[in-house]
Chain A
Amino acid sequence: MPEVRTVLELENICKTFPAVKALNNVSMSVKSGEVRGLVGENGAGKSTLIKIITGAYTKDSGSMLFEGKDIGRNSPLISKGLGIYAVYQDVMVTPDLTVAENFFLGHQPRIGPFINWKKMYRESEKFLDEIGLEINIHKSIKELSIAESEMIAICKALWQKPKLVIFDEPTAVLTRSETKILFKIIEDLKKRGTAIIYISHNLEEVFEVCDTVTVLKDGATVGTYTTEELGNVDKLIPLMVGRSIEEMYHKTATKTGQELLKVENLTGKKFENISFNVKSGEVVGLFGLVGAGRTEIARAIFGVDHFVEGKIVVKGSEAAIKKPKDALNNGIGYLPEDRRKQGIFLQQDIDFNLNIINFDKAMRGGIINYGKAHAQARDYVEKLSIKIGSIYQPISQLSGGNQQKVIIARWLCKNPDVLIFDEPTVGIDVGTKSEIYRLFGDILNSGKGIILISSYLPELMGVSDRIYVISNGKMAAEVQKKDFSEEYLLTLAMKNLVSKEKIKEAV
């Protein structure tokens, strides 16, 4: 193992944006071969700090030392030259090029002026083999799944033999088996003496993979701890927000009442014979591995995709749902999983984003009454305690967590009988998460029902009253609250798995 030295040293970094002090005297140092977790609520300053390290932002004051040298002026190019690589949530690879081409982008092997395709393919294959990824290097990126293309983005960073790798929420879209491969990659990097900064809202993961954790809160460092001295997640959360995990999942008991929604033998392209129901006052969880068909079922119920067979019964009578509008009219709402691609209207303001499905409530004779529309927007912004300057602010200026709250506000204002939440807390900080769970309580208390789709088991088990497990497009089981356990649910989820996945799982 190479000798341990300090790779990155940050001292008293400050950064102020108009109206916000994003970083206030942040200091931290990372050694070679160390995996450093960076945690904190949304808006704590993690992203800003990373952008200063990679040179996307310039710091106002403080110093940054890399391998003992003071880096005065930084830029993305300079930091790359130093060997600093960041893997972002947003996959940044060129979608039309093949996997191999992406690896070699900008430094293709050549014979004279021509590209040496053979060498390129051979070396790419060898590289993926070493890592243990089974991806066809001749495929273009757009043919890959989101998870696969993210793995490629990660591999691309490794390809450059970096000295410091920053992972920003790398597992948000990865399956469990892919996450395992990622952790193996991190392990390898460690052995080679690479320093790693690992950002994740999934704190269990942080404990699994990190040696040390730096906690940021409101732009300042709370402290740096070894994962050993912390012991478990319950110790970490109070440092971030001052709230324990039990409090977060707190749920007031509600009485379950009439059946609001019943799905019978629903069969579509990616699922078959799905039957389940939702009663008022309960949260019904849908669990399954990524690709099991949960989202597809939700989309079919909401009328986005067509289903082949089966029926949807709303409050006892069959509903003809052929398009989202029909679902809305039948009192069904759907909060999609990809907030950025499917949820927000980025160029528009908060008012627009909140009211787009609620203008009906503020209309007379086909004409929007903006007095009413603005009032209902303000009302819900206040109810959900969304931190904003004004409702005329572009939604793009908000943090991810607050954007998600605006979309939830949109649906709460619409007030459907059954609201489907598809991965509502992915990439959202602990504080906002607990507020979202609190809102669940409000929804249930008003006699509505919730369908929750989540890959994060502690959340799903904590919030749901019953969980339906979908395995490879088929209903595996309905599990009651008293029988919830991670092992049991995962076993059910893998029940109908094809062998290929099993092989992957064994890696």
Chain B
Amino acid sequence: MAGKKEKKAFAERNLLIILVVMWVFLAIATKGNFSSWDNITNLIRQSSINGVVAIGMTLIIITGGIDLSVGSIVGLSGMVYAIMTSTRGDFKLSSFWGIIIALAVGALVGLINAVAIHDGKVPAFIATLGMMTLVRGIVMYVSSGRMVTGVPTEYRQFAVAEFLGIPALAWTWILLALVMMFVLKYTKFGRNLYAIGSNEEAARLSGINIRFNMYAFYVVAALFSGIAGLMLGTRMAAGVPTGGQGYELDAIASVVIGGASLSGGVGTILGTALGALIIQTIRNGGNLLGVDPFIMQIVIGAIIILAVFFDQFIKSRKKGEGLKKLFKRV
């Protein structure tokens, strides 16, 4: 059967091919250093925090919006946890309550984003740009710009914990991605997301409650950032005031490389996950090859643009228009 199912699989297959080619190349170029089990698990662990943020970002980009505040939420949730649980702090709560409060605070930021965007009609870019600065300010203020240490031991141990030889952080990402893949495909919540993202008015006329769903998307996205903040905190073994800074850009890049459309209605969790792995593979491989980190930055920037360029190229080639015509005219 022709059509979308095949086309979708096709787009993700391309990403998978790119990833495998990169891995094979790096394995050979680094004489097996890259393909060692240690390095591969390390790569997945490094991808996992951005990967979790990017899951939330995928939801927001499918709605046709964008969320620039995710990096600040990462910092906020890690900081809130540290302050709540630190043995040197005022609260000295258990890890459980630390996590609950950290995630709740993160979710609250998502809710405020949603209210500003849906009810206040503030463009998502502006609302979340403001929120990014605002939340970072809060993180700096409550921590006085200093690291907060003294977090519970089990928190610190989570970062190095492994199950079946795979880091717990990686498991967290994999499980969350699998759950969201299922949710987007098999629940009304997921179907509503694509409906609202492709045509909000048609979704409203289909009886979908736009406000409730938009709130839910932003809250869920913020929750993922909150989880990522805790994951980062376990690695740092502290609340770091600058934690998560710039993460929004990696997340957006992963989603876009993963094939989502910034105009909404299109995007998949699997694509985003592959996008996150591709970005991290470039960083990790570049490191092993001893490429200048500044050069790496140039390469990653170029790849973001090229990914979207090729996506457009394939789309326009399918219509028999576009580039071909452009070249003809020149």
Q: List A residues at the B interface (Cβ < 8 Å).
A: 17, 75, 302, 304, 323-325, 327-328, 334, 336, 341-349, 352, 355-357, 359, 363, 366-368, 370, 389-394
Contact = CB atoms under 8 A, between A and B. Distances in A.
A356 B5 CA distance: 17
Nearest to B6: A392
B106 to A, nearest CB: 25
B78 interface: no
Given A389-B2, A390-B2, A302 B188 contact: no
Interface residues of B, number: 33
A349 B188 contact: no
Nearest to B264: A347
Interface in B193-222: 194-195, 197-199, 201-209
Contact of A346 (B4, B187, B199): B199
Contact of B329 (A75, A348, A390, A391): A75
B163 to A, nearest CB: 27
A359 B195 CA distance: 13
B198 A334 contact: no
Interface string B34-75: 000000000000000000000000000000000000000000
A392 B188 contact: no
B290 interface: no
Given A323-B209, A368-B186, A342 B202 contact: yes
A367 B3 contact: no
Given A390-B2, A392-B1, A393-B2, A344 B191 contact: no
Nearest to A349: B4
A392 B205 contact: no
Nearest to A393: B3
Contacts of A75: 325, 329
Give 6 nearest A-B pairs by CB, closest first: A393-B3, A347-B265, A392-B3, A345-B198, A349-B4, A390-B1
Given A341-B201, A367-B186, A390 B194 contact: no
B132 interface: no
B234 interface: no
Contacts of A343: 202, 205
B109 to A, nearest CB: 27
A346 B5 CA distance: 15
Contacts of A359: 188, 191
28 contacts: A304-B205, A323-B207, A324-B208, A325-B209, A334-B205, A341-B199, A342-B201, A342-B202, A345-B194, A345-B199, A347-B197, A347-B266, A348-B4, A348-B194, A349-B4, A355-B191, A356-B195, A356-B206, A359-B188, A363-B188, A368-B185, A368-B188, A368-B191, A389-B3, A392-B2, A392-B4, A393-B2, A393-B4
Given A368-B186, A368-B187, A392-B4, A348 B265 contact: yes
A393 B198 CA distance: 16
A366 B183 CA distance: 10
Contacts of A336: 202, 205
B261 interface: yes
Contacts of A370: 186
B250 to A, nearest CB: 25
Contacts of A341: 199, 201-202
Contacts of B3: 349, 389-394
Contacts of A355: 191
A347 B193 CA distance: 13
Contacts of A342: 199, 201-202, 205
Given A304-B205, A389-B2, 12 more contacts: A302-B205, A324-B208, A342-B199, A343-B202, A344-B199, A345-B199, A347-B194, A347-B261, A357-B207, A359-B191, A368-B185, A392-B5
